[in-house]
C-alpha cells in the first residue's frame, strides 16, 4: 500500500507559465525525500493553466514530513500557491486494483 496525493491546480491566466517553471523544481526536490516514491507533474495540453500533480509516499507520515520540508514551504507555499486561482488536493491510502 502507498499514500497518494492528487492535486489539481488552476493558475491564473497571467501566471500559468511561472507555475510551469516552478513545479518541476518542487518535484525534483521532493523526489529526493526518503519517503517519496513518485512525484509527477502534468500540464493540460488544451487548458494550459491546469496542472495535475500525482505524488506517492510510503506512508501518511512521509507526506507529513514532506509538508514540513524547506523546499515545500519555499516553493509550494511561498511561490506557487500565491499564483493559483484554484487548488484542490485529495490524499489517501490507495492500492492498485
* Domain 1-92 is found in CATH 3.30.460.10: no
Give yes or no for a contact between 56 and 36, defined as CB atoms under 8 angstroms apart: yes
Q: Using the predicted structure, report yes or no on whether residue 1 has a pLDDT greater than 90.
A: no
pLDDT digits (tens, 9 = 90+) for 11-22: 999 999 999 999
Q: Which three cell numbers stand for residue 76?
A: 509550494
Report residue 35's pLDDT band, with 50, 70 and 90 as the boundaries. very high
pLDDT digits (tens, 9 = 90+) for 48-85: 999 999 999 999 999 999 999 999 999 999 999 999 99
The pLDDT score that the predictor gives to residue 96 is 78
Q: What's the length of the chain? A: 97
The alpha carbon of residue 53 and the mean position of all alpha carbons in its chain are separated, in whole angstroms, by: 5
Helices marked H in the chain: 16-31, 60-66, 70-71
Amino acid at each position: 500500500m502507498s499514500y497518494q496525493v492528487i492535486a489539481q491546480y488552476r493558475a491564473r491566466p497571467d501566471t500559468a507559465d511561472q507555475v510551469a517553471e516552478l513545479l518541476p523544481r518542487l518535484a525534483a526536490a521532493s523526489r529526493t525525500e526518503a519517503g517519496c516514491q513518485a512525484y509527477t507533474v502534468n500540464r493540460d495540453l488544451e487548458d494550459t493553466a491546469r496542472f495535475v500533480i500525482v505524488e506517492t509516499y510510503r506512508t501518511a507520515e512521509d507526506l507529513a514530513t514532506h509538508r514540513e520540508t524547506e523546499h515545500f514551504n519555499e516553493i509550494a507555499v511561498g511561490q506557487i500557491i500565491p499564483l493559483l486561482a484554484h487548488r484542490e488536493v485529495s490524499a489517501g491510502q490507495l492500492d492498485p486494483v
